[in-house]
Amino acid sequence: MVLLHDAIESKKLDIRIIERNIAKGVVTSAEVDKHLQQLPDDSENADWVSIESLSQEEIDDRPNGSQSLTESGNEPIGQAGTQSGTQFFQHH
pLDDT in tens, 35-86: 999 999 998 998 888 888 777 776 677 666 555 555 555 445 554 554 445 5
- Whether 30 maps to a domain, the answer reads yes
- Whether 14 maps to a domain, the answer reads yes
- Whether 69 maps to a domain, the answer reads no
- Whether 18 maps to a domain, the answer reads yes
- Whether 31 maps to a domain, the answer reads yes
Q: In the chain, how many domains are there?
A: 1
Categorise residue 85: left if φ over 0, alpha if ψ from -120 to 50, beta otherwise: left
- Whether 61 maps to a domain, the answer reads no
Give the predicted TM-score (pTM) of the model: 0.45
